[in-house]
Amino acid sequence: MGDTRRVADGEERTTLRPLRPATPRADSGAGPDGPATRLPRPRRPWLSSGRPAADAAPEPPTTEPVPAEAIDNAAGTTSGATAPDRTDRAAAESTPKTTVEKSTPESGAPAARRRRVRFGHAVRLPGPRAAARATRAWSRRPSGRLTLPGVFLLVLVAATATAGALVVPATLGAPRPVAADATDDAPGALPSDLPPTAQVPPPGQFPPPTATLPPGVTGPGTAAPAGGRPSDALAGWARDTGTKVGIDPIAMQAYGYAELVLAETDRSCGLSWTTLAAIGLVESRHGQANNAQLGADGRAVPEIIGLPLDGQGNRMRIADTDRGELDRDTTYDRAIGPMQFIPTTWEEIGADADNDGREDPHNIHDAALAAGMYLCKGGRNLTIPGDWWNAILSYNDVRRYAQDVFDAANRYGQASRT
């Protein structure tokens, strides 16, 4: 068979001595200890550090027929054997030759090798990848095809319900209304004849600030008559327009002056006096609710004070915030004045339009200007239908109320142009 040394790449070599005959041959002068023959150790792919385990995959063992003479030569015999050895050799030659299965480095590990398993006594759980593969396989089955869409739909419904519970109340929570409820309708009642949001009331007849003003009308920025209010410059216009639309000239002065002031201070708002007049009509009939009358100075006498905001009759519930200084009630807040402000809003937005040094919610001049400032708050453009409706609903969040304001503003705009 020749040299029996084999080289196993990357494996430790071990020097082994071949088997020796019981008695040395007479003609061999070899000593009892012959030359050392190195035999390869079986390869162990799982111990290889130089190559991955895939490279050390076992291959089917190769089987080569090996004659008996080669086996004898590997044991250290030579051609000059003794007689007993020749007899044994002849007997071996007379018997059929046998094959010995050997393993080469390329043939891999023998079939009877024992493979060690780490933590074989413990329960090994599948990893994430195995779980993902199992889930994919299950999703392709009929049960998975029916179950997975249902689970996804359930999760989607739960997420939508959670988002709705958090977002919808915040979206629907409009700013606290300025005025008390004007009707007995529920706040959520939507009238069937509510006009589409693509409409806004037409503006009332009023000379633009750059136009030639009629006699008695002074534009914004010009001097007011000596000893009078700034709105007194609109006395002639207020008298003529008030006759057409049926509004007291004093109230008409207040509405027209508020439009001129906001046209100068907030040009993007686009507020028309018709909107303020409509709110004044719905809230207090232009300062005449509860048998009140507007004085020459524009103050309503007696003071117009609404019902307590105690949560009854579809009204809001607001505890007292002004200690009764404005609404004469130390238990609950009340809407006050011709434009029906609540005390907390008046403290925020109150104005002095008649230059008397007081912000008086019971004075229609101050109240009309404050109402216009409130409607324009937040960068609204009241020439846009959506902004107009949002402004009215922020003033009083009652749909019937907004409908009534729209109808009144529409009538005033059309009547002023006749």
In-domain check, residue 277 = yes
Residue ending a domain, among 101, 130, 154, is 101
- 28: amino acid identity, one letter: S
Helix 399-416 / helix 273-284 crossing angle, nearest 10 deg: 130
Euclidean distance between CA atoms 214 and 136, whole angstroms: 83
Around Cβ 230, how many Cβ atoms within 10 Å? 20
Looking at the 3D structure of the chain, how many domains does it have?
A: 2
The parts of the chain modelled with pLDDT lower than 50 are: 8-10, 53-57, 63, 66, 68, 70-87, 89-92, 94-105, 108, 173-178, 180-196, 208-224
Euclidean distance between CA atoms 298 and 258, whole angstroms: 14
In-domain check, residue 303 = yes
Residue ending a domain, among 101, 123, 141, is 101
Cα dihedral 61, 62, 65, 67 sign: negative
**pLDDT at residue 283 in the model:** 95
In-domain check, residue 193 = no
Euclidean distance between CA atoms 88 and 99, whole angstroms: 18
Q: Which two three-digit tokens encode residue 143?
A: 């049960």
Helix 364-375 / helix 273-284 crossing angle, nearest 10 deg: 120
DSSP letter at 228 equals S
Euclidean distance between CA atoms 317 and 106, whole angstroms: 92
**pLDDT at residue 168 in the model:** 63
In-domain check, residue 190 = no
Residue-level length of the chain: 418
**pLDDT at residue 152 in the model:** 85
Range of the domain at 59: 14-23+38-101
Euclidean distance between CA atoms 369 and 260, whole angstroms: 10
Q: Which two three-digit tokens encode residue 131?
A: 């779980």
Q: Give residues with Cβ within 8 angstroms of 66, minimum separation 6.
A: 1, 99, 100, 102
Euclidean distance between CA atoms 209 and 225, whole angstroms: 18
- 59: amino acid identity, one letter: E
**pLDDT at residue 274 in the model:** 95
Euclidean distance between CA atoms 43 and 303, whole angstroms: 108
Degrees, nearest 5: CA angle 223-229-231: 80
* 246 exposure class (CB count in 10 Å sphere: 0-12, 13-18, 19+): exposed
**pLDDT at residue 350 in the model:** 94
**pLDDT at residue 388 in the model:** 94
- Cα dist. 248→80, 151, 252, 300 in Å? 149, 67, 6, 12
- pLDDT tens for 60-116 read 555 455 454 544 444 444 444 444 444 454 444 544 444 444 444 455 455 556 666
In-domain check, residue 309 = yes
Q: Phi and psi at residue 247, in whole multiples of 5°?
A: -120, 140
DSSP letter at 299 equals B
Residue ending a domain, among 67, 101, 135, is 101
Query: Is 275 in a helix, a strand, or coil?
Result: helix
Q: Report the run of H or E that residue 64 belongs to, with start and end.
A: strand 63-64
pTM: 0.55
**pLDDT at residue 169 in the model:** 61
Cβ-contact 320, 336 below 8 angstroms: no
**pLDDT at residue 28 in the model:** 52
Query: Is 37 in a helix, a strand, or coil?
Result: strand
Euclidean distance between CA atoms 185 and 201, whole angstroms: 23
* Closest CA relative to residue 177, chosen from 29, 62, 316: 316
In-domain check, residue 141 = no
Around Cβ 115, how many Cβ atoms within 10 Å? 6
In-domain check, residue 191 = no
Cα dihedral 310, 315, 318, 323 sign: negative
**pLDDT at residue 228 in the model:** 67
Euclidean distance between CA atoms 84 and 25, whole angstroms: 10
DSSP secondary structure string, 341-392?
A: B-HHHHHHH---SS-SS---TTBHHHHHHHHHHHHTTTT--TTSHHHHHHHH
Cβ-contact 1, 74 below 8 angstroms: yes
Per the listing, tokens 């080469």 go with: 104
In-domain check, residue 408 = yes
Which stretches of 33-141 are DSSP H helices? 68-74, 83-94, 128-139
